[in-house]
Amino acid sequence: MFIDFDRFRYELRLMGKRVILTPILIMIGYLLFAILLRSLKVDPPRFLSSSLEMILPLATAIIVSMTTSQDPAIEVQLTVPRKYHQTVLGRLIIIACWTACIALLSSIVLFATKLDFIPQPITASWNAPQVFFTGLLTWLGPLFWFVGVSFCLGLLVRSRSANAAILSGIWIVEILLKDYFAVTNWLHPVFLFPTTLLPLAGPIPQTYFDLWLSSRLEIIATGLILLPIGWLLLHNPEGLLKGAGEE
């Protein structure tokens, strides 16, 4: 087991309340802004969808890059019986799972209040659970992908700021070149935010839905493949020690 309860408590205390509070504060901020939009007669579902699909994954990735790629006590960490890669993986799981919990809770609230933004094939008549679980794929994909990329990139680049900058660049390029991503087949497996940007919500043609679904699954798979790669990168004590001095 990567993390027992005591360890979990210590890791939470080490990372601080900021890691726990950040996703909550983001969602509260989005909720307040959505209320403002409603008062301005702007429909908020697409805006709220962006919080789950685009904003939370980026914030989580930047936090992951900050907390997993370096440790102020790395020299000590490498001497203790518990392997450092287990500690980092534990941290990664805590951060990703916590964000996923907040996103899941937000999805339930949005679904219950009919503020969801979920695509479904026009030919199918789905029941509520099918629509809800499909909706989870909108943010699960980008979350896994960003966490996986941030984890590996942080260990390769060995600079938290450079890692955050590159993730930000990917994020903004996905937005600016959304039309190019949509019409270019080879970019579909890295088209992270199609639901909000295109937008794809409600009944859509079966072909579009299939493309959307396959790209979600490919993105989740990419994120999952990157985790063991990052795990292997953590087995390089020399690289970890060098990384501590490269900022």
Partner 1 sequence: MKQLPIFFGVLRYEFRMQIHRRALWFAILCFIILFVIRGPGAIFHELITNIYDIPMVPLIATWTSQVNTFLPIAVGVLLADRLWRDKRTKVDELFSTMPGSLSTRLLGKYLGSTLATLLPIFLFYSFGIGFIYYKFQNPIIIPVALATFAAIILPGILFISAFSIACPTIIWLPLYQFLFVGYWFWGNLLSPRNGIPTLSNTILTPYGGYMSTGFFGAPFSMAGATPLEGTASILLLLSITMLVMYLLWGLLRWQQARQ
Q: Which residues bind partner 1 (CB under 8 A)?
A: 18, 22, 36-37, 40-42, 47, 55, 58-59, 62-63, 65-66, 157-162, 164-166, 168-173, 175-177, 180, 246-247
Pick 199 or 203: Cβ nearer partner 1: 199
Question: Minimum Å distance from CB 122 to partner 1?
Answer: 26
Quick check: 69 and 160 in contact, CB under 8 A?
yes
Quick check: 132 and 107 in contact, CB under 8 A?
yes
Pick 85 or 178: Cβ nearer partner 1: 178
Quick check: 138 and 213 in contact, CB under 8 A?
no
Question: Minimum Å distance from CB 127 to partner 1?
Answer: 32
**Cis bond upstream, residue 121 (ω within 30):** no
Question: Minimum Å distance from CB 190 to partner 1?
Answer: 10
Query: How many whole angstroms separate alpha carbon 88 and alpha carbon 175?
Result: 31
Question: Minimum Å distance from CB 172 to partner 1?
Answer: 5
Pick 42 or 112: Cβ nearer partner 1: 42
CA 73 to each of CA 78, 160, 230, 240: distance values in angstroms, whole numbers, following the listed order: 9, 16, 20, 11
Question: Minimum Å distance from CB 82 to partner 1?
Answer: 25
Quick check: 230 and 152 in contact, CB under 8 A?
yes
Question: Bridge partners of 120?
Answer: 203
Pick 104 or 175: Cβ nearer partner 1: 175
Pick 108 or 229: Cβ nearer partner 1: 229
Type of residue at 9 = R
**And the tokens for 167?**
């993730």
